[in-house]
Chain A
Amino acid sequence: MTKVRRFMEAGLERTFLACALLSIASVALMTVFIFRQGLPLFAKVSLPDFLLSTDWFPSRDPNPGYGILSFIVGSVFVTVMSLAISVPVGISTGIFLAEMAGRRFGPFLRAAVELLAGIPSVIYGLFGIAVIVPLVRMIPGGNGYSALSSSIVLAIMVLPTIINMTEVSVRSVPNELREGSLALGATRWQTISGVLVPAARSGIVTGVVLGMGRALGETMAVLLVGGNAPIMPAGPLSMVRTLTMNVITDMAYAEGTHLTALFATAIVLFVFILALNVFIQVALKRAVKESTR
């Protein structure tokens, strides 16, 4: 190789490396920027006052309130309710796709799940306003814009993630386990519920946690059906504002400490999601370790 060639090769390799490092660089930059913008809040507001107070009143003069507990509870409440719906349905459908689907129905269902995953959140929001809100208004009651409506919409949005991970995990369980169980006289279903699912449980849990992350981070769909009232949700029919909704509602006009508070809210969200991500990475590692044992 000529010197020029070698130079170019090395240069290109470095370019490739730089691009690969881009993802870490972006995450690092984001973390730095958001923390830098949000941390100064704690010079003015103590951590308990921020995380544990429900008094969110940034425009009150002279003593503005920056308590985001209502929104933390809102986010968690809505996420947990949505998982309550999507986890059973999602795991079941994932199992179905992995073990029970026929040769024609299987790909059809899989395509449907892929499509569900690709629908934008505004469309879910539009559907939510047009169908789910009036439905909730009619059957349980209240004004329709509620935590329940948000959870239903989120559940549908999170379903593909859980279905996908469950299917992949159950499929990747080694065949010997399947055949062994059947050889021992277990029925198809006993094999699935007693052997495959437990074997795939790390992957399934990973899927659920991924879904949790998606639900926590969703903004548009909940913004349209949640009601956006800055109150502590008293029950499923109560209006709700999540951490994401709080950020996007005030983002355009907040200034000074108010803006800092929004970044601090973003930090809380960020930390939640990061923690979930780390959990996923750890769980995946454990899954790999277990399956190779």
Chain B
Amino acid sequence: MKRKIRAGERVSVGFVWLSAAFTIATLFLILGYILWNGFFYSNNVEYSVTSDATRELDGTLVIVNPRNPIRELPFDALRGLYSDEFSSWKKPAGFDADSYPYVDDATSPRLAGLLGLEAQGELVEFPGDAAAAAESVAGNDGGIAIVDAKAFGALDPALIERVRVVPTRSVALGVNPSVVEIRDNRRIGTVHETAIGDLYAGKISNWKELDGSDLPVTVIVPPPGSALRSLADRAGFDHDRANGHANQSGSLKFIEPATMDEYYLSLAGTRGAVGLVEASRANGIDIAPVKLSRRETGRNLTLSFLLEAPKDSGKIGGISTIILNTFAMILLTLIFSIPPGLFAAIYLVEYAREGRLVRLIRLGTETLAGIPSIIFGLFGMLVFVQGLGWGISLLSGSLTVTLMILPTIVRTAEEALKAVPGSLQEGSLALGATKVQTVFRVVLPAAFPAIASGVILAIGRALGETAALIYTMGSNYNLTGGLFDSTRTLAVHVYLIIAEGISSDRAFASGAVLVFFILAINGTARFVINRMGRMARG
């Protein structure tokens, strides 16, 4: 009998310990995941070019303004900037500045050939020589210039300091157009960059292994001595091993032309052909580029995210206005909820007698606490937005949230007031103070820390409110212009970023900021309670 009991007990006790551990583990998992992804991102990003970046582009250099955040310029972005495809840096670099493409006189004759364009865009300007181009770029946030490399190197070092040379990624994985056609309802999509190595090593013999159509692979190898050949060698091309693979598979072929012209001709003319090419040559007509993906990691939440205003639905910029909006909402909510909540608690503690009325009031408060937020949202929409005609606004939303946190304030204020020793009150009354004077001058100050911590926790609830605010406070992400403006708060912003599929990085970054606020609030509340505890003891 004893052994059975002990075994059963062990299991139960074990389960209890496990539950406690599970609870803590869950908390750390959730907070940790959000904060980690808030601070660091890791995405699969797709490009038309490989990762190989070169400082010089066929004897020219690309320079940008130092405020431009771009680190490496993919070739199609460069081409887009010079062909009127982009008029601002938003798409290529997430940088909100109109683009001003310049070319120096030395390079302008061969601009079209350099970028594989039929004609240059109308936005392109010609300031003069390399120095003039550099000046233009230095003086314009969105400036970019293609200048002759030698001429640039010879410029005054002070001028060179005022611009930044951006390496370009101008090597693409080019294929014969047959590879990217739809055949049998299949078409090759994005290929991971590691496939380049696999192709050159002879590990892939048919395009269907890369999700393409059933077409044998023919690898065209750049002629020895060329820049592309060294890239191919680095990617894993080995002449003997390649021949070995080709002989084994039967359908896989390696072709090694002797000159660059033959190289491009082979690519354009052989079905299933693939090889690294200059991006300017992959024009889609005789040679098509294959989209490549690679994993990029980096810092996500940065100080500038907190200080910049959001633009373009939140796709670009930061969340500064949204944080300020959230403060405005909280301030307004506190103004509306503290007086009624406090006064209600004062009544319940100081004046009321236990009777039907008090029980009714308590029932009302408890019920209010349990009503789902969506119902508050409906009520707010009916009464504040439509009924009183205030529209979707800061005012309507704040009043809705006020109703939601009222019970919390009443409850904690009540507890706080009850905890004030009766002796303090009796002493005050004995000295001749009126009831009201006692309440305001003696009881409230004594209960202040506990009330404060309750208010702080109520703020936490208001911070996280989303469902009730979407249709009462709105989604305008600019700085709120007044009580009657549609306003977006942080929690609503996190929801909208997820719902609008804008960027999971931004969702986590904004979420991390929200979590920080919650942590700060919790910490402050505990600090206040601890101080109060110490004060009471001391």
Contacts and interface: CB of A to CB of B under 8 A. Distances in A.
Contacts of B511: 122-123, 126
B313 interface: no
B346 interface: yes
A8 B436 contact: yes
A216 B434 CA distance: 47
A193 interface: yes
B23 A112 contact: yes
Interface residues of B, number: 87
Bin the interface of chain A by size. 35 or more
Given A30-B375, A96-B16, 17 more contacts: A9-B435, A23-B344, A24-B361, A26-B364, A93-B16, A109-B24, A115-B522, A118-B460, A120-B463, A120-B464, A122-B494, A123-B34, A126-B494, A126-B508, A163-B23, A187-B9, A252-B471
The CB with the most chain A CB atoms within 10 A, among B381, B406, B498, is that of B498
A230 B534 CA distance: 55
Nearest to B28: A112
Interface in B242-268: none
Q: Which of A5, A21, A280 has the most CB of B within 10 A?
A: A21
A248 B467 contact: yes
B17 to A, nearest CB: 7
A130 B466 contact: no
A219 B374 contact: yes
Interface in B327-365: 339-344, 346-348, 350-352, 360-361, 363-365
Contacts of B442: none
Which of B347, B465, B491, B504 has the most chain A CB atoms inside 10 A of its CB?
Answer: B347
B374 A266 contact: yes
Interface stretch (A10-18, A44-52, A143-151, A231-239): A10-18
Interface centre among A8, A118, A163, A263 (most CB of B within 10 A): A118
Interface string B1-32: 00001000100110111111011101101110
A260 to B, nearest CB: 12
B16 A126 contact: no
A20 B466 contact: no
A261 to B, nearest CB: 13
A39 interface: no
Given A16-B343, A23-B407, A114 B522 contact: yes
Interface stretch (B61-69, B113-121, B273-281, B512-520): B512-520
A92 B344 contact: no
B367 interface: yes
B348 to A, nearest CB: 6
Contacts of A213: 370
A129 B34 CA distance: 12
B33 A20 contact: no
B507 interface: yes
Interface in A88-124: 88-90, 92-93, 95-97, 100-101, 108-109, 111-116, 118-124
Contacts of B364: 21, 23-28
Given A123-B494, A156-B26, A270 B16 contact: no
A18 B340 CA distance: 9
B371 interface: yes
A122 B469 CA distance: 12
Q: Do most interface residues of chain A lie in helix, strand or loop, or is the interface mixed?
A: helix
B178 interface: no
A276 B369 CA distance: 12
Q: Which 9 A-B pairs have the closest CB atoms?
A: A120-B464, A217-B372, A24-B364, A92-B19, A19-B343, A16-B347, A20-B344, A23-B364, A20-B347
A113 B407 CA distance: 21
B375 A266 contact: yes
Given A92-B20, A96-B19, A248-B374, A123 B348 contact: no
A219 B376 CA distance: 12
11 contacts: A30-B371, A89-B22, A93-B19, A111-B526, A115-B27, A120-B463, A126-B508, A219-B373, A244-B372, A273-B370, A273-B372
B498 A125 contact: yes
B308 to A, nearest CB: 22
Interface in B137-166: none
A186 B424 CA distance: 46
Contacts of B436: 8-9, 12-13
Interface string B448-473: 00000000010011011111001100
